[in-house]
Amino acid sequence: MSEQAQTATNDAESTSEKLVELAKRRGYFFQSSGAYGGVGGFYTFGPQGASLKGNVEDAWRDRFAVAEGNMEIDAPTIMPEPVFEASGHLDGFDDMLVECDECGESHRADHVVEDNTEYEDAESLPIPEVEEVIAEHQLVCPSCGAGLAGQAVETFNLMFATNIGPGDSDPGYLRPETAQGIFVEFPRLKEYARNQLPFGVTQIGRAYRNEISPRRSIIRTREFTQAELEYFVDPETDEPDLESVADVDVTLYPASEQNKDDGDEIRTTIGDAVEEGVISSPWVAYFLGVAKPWYDAVGVDMDRFRFRQHLSGERAHYAADCWDAESEIDGNWIEMAGFAYRSDYDLSKHAEHSGDRFTVFKQYDEPKTVERATVDPDMSYLGPEFGGDAQAVVEELEDLAARDRAAFDGDVVEIELEDDTHDIPVEKTGFAVEEQTEAGEHITPHVVEPSFGVDRLVYTVLHHAYREDEVDGEERTYLELDPEVAPTFVGVFPLQNDDELEAEAQEIVADLRAEGLSVTYDDSGNIGRRYRRQDEVGTPFCVTVDYETIEDKETTVTVRERDTTDQTRLPVDDLVEALAEIREGDLEFEEL
C-alpha cells in the first residue's frame, strides 16, 4: 500500500544548493563559528552529519584496515618543521595565487582560468603560462570584476604554521596529510610488522590546508578528514592478489585519453586494464579494484563514478603515478580519493634527513657470497694532510670504493671535497676487494597509497542520495541513504500523545537500542510531518504505535519503508529481529 505517486527526477542544476540548505536545517553540516560571522573553509558536522561521517569511517576501517589485515595508528596533527623539510611540503606544497589590485581578494589562479576558459587542468600549467592565459582571455577578479591581466601569479604554501611551545624557536605545522604521521614512525612500525613486507598502516584523522579559496561547502575546506592507507611493499618481489579484483568493472579516464582531442573514458575490468598496460602499477590497480565495490556499498552512484589518471604536470611532488576516484556532482567531476604510487620517495627522504633507518632487512633464500670493495685509509697520512676534513675524506673514499672500483686502478685516487679535487696515493687508502658472505640486504620499501577524503565522500553520498517526489499530492524530499551509513536506522512514533501509546513506543525504542540499532523517538507534530522529517534525514524505516497495537490480541505495529513509503503491520514480538536482519542485509522489507 503505497502513498507514493510518480517519482520526479532530480533537478541537477540546483541539487547542491538544496542539499546545502537541507544539511543546515536537518543537522548534517553547516559553516562553523556562525555566531561570529562564520569563517571560510571550516565546517561543523551536526548530529546527523557526525553520525553519517562516523558510519562512513567505520565502513572504511572495516574494509581497508580490518579486512585487509592492516594496522591502524593515531598520530598527532602537529608535527615539527624538519618532518616537512624532509617530506618536501615546505618547498613544494604550493598553489598558484593571484591577488586583485582593486579589492585585495586572493584567488587560486588555476581556478580562475578553469572557471572561465576551456582549460580543464590549469594546475598542471607552468606559472608564466597561467599569467599569459589570464592576460589573453582578459580574465577578471571573481569578487569585484576588475581585470587580472598583468597581475603576478605567485606560489602560496598551503601549510598552517605554528610554534611549538613559547617563542618561535621551534616551528611546527598542522599536517597537510595524515600520511606523514605514518612515514615518520616507520622505524617502529616495521618492528610491529616483524620486519615482514608487505604490510599496511592506516590512519583516519584531520588534515589541514590553508586553501586560498575554499569553496563548494565541504568539498574544499581548510580542515578536513582523511582516511589513508600507506602500504609498504618490496617492489622486486611483492605482488598484489590481482585475481581477487580482476573482474571488477571500472570506468577509467587515462592520461593518454585526456591528452587526445577526442579522448574518452574507457570501460574495462581491472584485470584487462593491467594486462593492457592502462594501469601500470598492479598495486594501484588492486586498490582501485577494492575501492570501487566499497564506494558502491556506501552509496556512491556507480553511473556517476570513475577513476581518472593524473596528467604528468598535475601529480604531487612525491607521486610517480596517481589515479583519482571521482564523483559527478551537478555536472562537475570532483576528486574523492587519490591512489598514488609514492615509490621510496618518503622513506628515503626521512632516512636522509633524520639519519634513522627507514629500511627493512630482506633475508636471502640462501646466503650469498659477494665481492665488496673496502678502504682502510692510513690516518697518519690523512690527518696531517687534511686536518679537520680527514673524516670527510674517509667517507668520500668509502663511497667511491662502493661506487667505482676502477678509480683505485692507478697510483693516485682523485676525490672531490667541497668543490676541490684532491689526489691521494692509492697505497694510503688501504683499498681491497674482499669476498663476504651476506644473509640479506637492507631495502627501502615502496609505498602505495590509497588516500580518501571523508568529507567529499560524505557530500557525494548525500548528493547522490538526494530525491524529490510527490506523496499524497505533496512534494517530498528524501535521502535514499544506504542503511549501513544512514545516521538513524529507525524512527519510532506513538500515533498520538497518549500515555499508553507513548509507553509502548518507548519500550520498543529500548528493545531496538538494546539490539544495537540506532533509533530516534519522535512524538511531536502530526504523523505525516514526522514521516517527512525522517525521510529528509534519510532514516530507512519508521515504526508507528497506534491504537490497534494496544487493543489487538496480537500486538502489532506499522512499519514504513522510506523510499516506497510502503507500510506493513508486524507483530511487536518479531519487530526487533526483523529489523536487525534487514540492517544486516539478510532480509528485505518486502519479505516482511
C-alpha dist (Å) from residue 562 to 358, 489, 520:
53, 11, 15
Is residue 60 part of the contact set for ligand GAP (CB under 6 A)?
no
- Is position 467 an interface residue for ligand GAP (rule: CB under 6 A)? no
Residue 216, CB-side half-sphere exposure with 13 Å CA sphere: 17
Residue 444 gets which letter from DSSP? P
Closer by beta carbon to ligand GAP, 221 or else 534: 221
Residue closer to ligand GAP by CB (options 53, 583) is: 53
Beta carbon of residue 218, minimum distance to ligand GAP (angstroms, whole number): 7
| Exposure class string for 78-99: b at 16+ Cβ within 10 A, else e | ebeeebbebbebbeebebbbbb
Kindly write down the DSSP assignment for every residue of 130-155, as one continuous string.
HHHHHHHTT-B-TTT--B-TTPPEEE
Q: Cα angle vertex 466, ends 223, 566, to 5°?
A: 135
Stretch that binds ligand GAP, among 5-13, 236-244, 355-363, 450-458 (CB under 6 A): 450-458
Residue 254, interface with ligand GAP (CB under 6 A)?
no
At its nearest, how many Å lie between ligand GAP and the CB of residue 225? 8
Q: Under the criterion CB under 6 A, does residue 326 sit at the interface with ligand GAP?
A: no
Q: Which residue is nearest to ligand GAP (CB)?
A: 453
Q: Nearest Cα to 134, choosing from 124, 119, 144, 143?
A: 119
Site for ligand GAP in 124-183 (CB under 6 A): 177, 179
Minimum distance of ligand GAP from residue 87's CB (angstroms): 10
Q: How far is the CB of 269 from ligand GAP (least distance, A)?
A: 24
Site for ligand GAP in 192-221 (CB under 6 A): 209, 211, 220-221
β strands within 356-395, DSSP E? 360-374
CB of residue 354 vs ligand GAP: minimum separation in angstroms? 20
Q: Which is nearer to ligand GAP, 228 or 396 (CB)?
A: 228
Evaluate the CA torsion angle 232, 236, 241, 242 in order and state its sign: positive
Is residue 226 part of the contact set for ligand GAP (CB under 6 A)? yes
Q: Is residue 308 near ligand GAP by the rule CB under 6 A?
A: no
- Among the residue ranges 145-153, 301-309, 330-338, 522-530, the one whose residues contact ligand GAP (CB under 6 A): 330-338
**Cβ neighbours for 397, distance < 8 A, ≥ 6 positions apart:** 375, 377, 413, 415, 424, 429, 431
Name which of 396 and 455 has its Cβ closer to ligand GAP. Answer: 455
Kindly report the number of other CB atoms within 10 A of residue 305's CB atom. Answer: 20
In angstroms, how far apart are the furthest CA atoms of the chain?
109
Minimum CB separation of residue 315 from ligand GAP in Å reads 10
Residue 592: closest CA among 575, 583, 253, 584: 575
**Pick from 336, 400, 505, 575: which binds ligand GAP (CB under 6 A)?**
336
Query: Is residue 549 a contact residue for ligand GAP (CB under 6 A)?
Result: no
* Separation CA 360–CA 369 (nearest Å): 20
CA distance 308 to 41: 26
| Helical pair 454-465 and 15-26, crossing angle rounded to 10 deg | 110
455 binds ligand GAP (CB under 6 A): yes
Place of cell 601549510: 159
Site size for ligand GAP (CB under 6 A): 18
Stretch that binds ligand GAP, among 222-230, 467-475, 482-490, 551-559 (CB under 6 A): 222-230
Out of 3, 105, 330, 335, the residue judged to bind ligand GAP by CB under 6 A: 335
Contact residues toward ligand GAP (CB under 6 A) are 177, 179, 209, 211, 220-221, 224, 226, 228, 335-338, 449, 451, 453, 455-456
